[in-house]
Amino acid sequence: MSKSAKQEINNKMEKLMSLLKRRGFIFQSSEIYGGLQASYDYGPLGVELKNNIKKAWWKKFVTNRIDMVGLDAAIIMHPKTWEASGHLQNFTDPLVDCKKCKRRFRADHLLEAKSLEPGYDKEKPLQITEIPCPECEGQLTDIRQFNLMFKTFMGSVEEDASVVYLRPETAGGIFVNFKNVVDTMRMRVPFGVGQIGKAFRNEITVENSIFRTREFEQMEIEYFVHPDEWQEKFEEWLVSMKEWCQFLGIREENLVTREIEGDELAFYSQRTVDFEYKFPFGQKELYGLAYRTNYDLTQHQNFSRQNLEYTDPDTKEKYIPHVIEPSLGVDRSFLATLLEAYTEVDGGRSTTTKSIKDMEVMLKIPYELAPVKISVLPLSKKEPFLQTAQEIIKRLSNDYNIQYDITGSIGKRYRRQDEIGTPFCITVDFDTDEDNKVTVRDRDTMKQERVGVEELEQYFASRLK
């Protein structure tokens, strides 16, 4: 790829991040204190988009399916959970330090970057010590394994007996509740449990804004199956995950599914397919689909000494169910949705006025996910414009997130709404008082329609619900 093409795509990330800051989607955490590295807060519009993504996921995968139920488990769990799951021992990343500048790096990332360099000889095994520090060219140490779990203390005494961990994946809470769910909900295999929640990893390197952070959110499903049917169910989940990506607006050409092999497989997985997205900073993991066998339930059965077997009500066969796990990051969903939605229109969108010739930006976020659904824009700050605008807000705000904007020319107000991805703008204009109709403008087509104030609920019900 040419240097200018590279600059252009990195620019896209920079331009998007600047828009997200300017328009209240994402802020640096604790900014007034200089910020905390790789920690982000979701602003007023960011939280709406994030909640809409979570709501849509919950609806598609939990409430719309009779073979699924939901759960909201605690973040801090009994420390034995992580001993049993293998995280205490195996949840590590390879770490190297620079002997000169003391910076830390993930060895696997450095090796991967080296292997992508032109002229790299794939036949020759590469040693990490042959790679210089990317920051200062100093010498790197040998690789050590670094456990990614955040450790803290429970209660008032800071001693070994009170050590607990912030969960590194939400999955753990589902496995330890397997028996509770089967007993209380009378679920029959195959069935799944979905959960959305925070997870924490003390990542060695954090990068690319919300792509890799130490505190993030996951939407995970543990889908319990008979061992004979795991392949069939795995294929079904591959299809469902692709549908989900489409729903977010991810173009087919930007999504790659990759079979994970050998050392790259997580310690609990027998098969994993990564869903990789072509981010401006490289093709990287968006989601993962893993076949975890009956590893987790078996481990928890052994460590807890509780019987976690399932008895088939028809055949009376007893077995420990196997698990298919579609695991989705909320923050990466948010980023991919916005990267897909980010659109620049050279020369402006308006075809009716010759005066607007700047480049305009719009977010073509799928309507269902847009943070603000409708913006109400009275053309005058006088009555009866304002009163009519308030009446419209009253009619619609129970069903939709509404913005009210009375500042600036109508063109500027449309541009502001396009920039945050608002699907519809309602203009209360100079004819409204006479015909009790308003102008509704569609974000994508810019088509304008006159709609009666009393018909607005019905008009949007067919377009937004």
CA dihedral 226, 231, 234, 235 (to 10 degrees): -140
Q: Rounded CA gap, 413 and 403, in Å? A: 11
Burial class, 330, CB count within 10 angstroms (exposed 0-12 / middle 13-18 / buried 19+): buried
Q: Rounded CA gap, 389 and 20, in Å? A: 28
Nearer to ligand GAP, 168 or 371 (CB): 168
Choose the binding region for ligand GAP from 121-129, 154-162, 214-222, 427-435 (rule: CB under 6 A).
Answer: 214-222
Site mask, ligand GAP, residues 135-174, x = CB under 6 A?
A: ----------------------------------x-x---
Taking CB under 6 A as the criterion, the residue among 23, 332, 437, 441 binding ligand GAP is 332
Nearer to ligand GAP, 328 or 376 (CB): 328
Nearer to ligand GAP, 203 or 391 (CB): 203
Site mask, ligand GAP, residues 167-196, x = CB under 6 A?
A: --x-x-------------------------
Q: Rounded CA gap, 258 and 280, in Å? A: 18
What's the closest the beta carbon of residue 251 comes to ligand GAP, in angstroms? 18
What's the closest the beta carbon of residue 172 comes to ligand GAP, in angstroms? 8
Q: According to the binding rule CB under 6 A, does residue 418 interact with ligand GAP?
A: no
Nearest alpha-carbon partner for 20 in 255, 361, 285:
361
DSSP letter (8 states) at residue 60 = I
Choose the binding region for ligand GAP from 213-221, 235-243, 424-432, 450-458 (rule: CB under 6 A).
Answer: 213-221
Nearer to ligand GAP, 52 or 85 (CB): 85
DSSP letter (8 states) at residue 111 = H
Q: Rounded CA gap, 374 and 432, in Å? A: 18
Q: According to the binding rule CB under 6 A, does residue 201 interact with ligand GAP?
A: yes
DSSP characters for 268-297?
A: T-SEEEEEEEEETTEEEEEEEEEEEETHHH
Q: According to the binding rule CB under 6 A, does residue 279 interact with ligand GAP?
A: no
What are the residues facing 68 on neighbouring strands? 192
Q: According to the binding rule CB under 6 A, does residue 373 interact with ligand GAP?
A: no
Q: Rounded CA gap, 436 and 428, in Å? A: 9
Taking CB under 6 A as the criterion, the residue among 108, 203, 229, 368 binding ligand GAP is 203
Neighbours of 23 (CB within 10 A): 19
The residues of the shown chain that bind ligand GAP, judged by CB under 6 A, are 169, 171, 201, 203, 212-213, 216, 218, 220, 285-288, 325, 327-329, 331-332
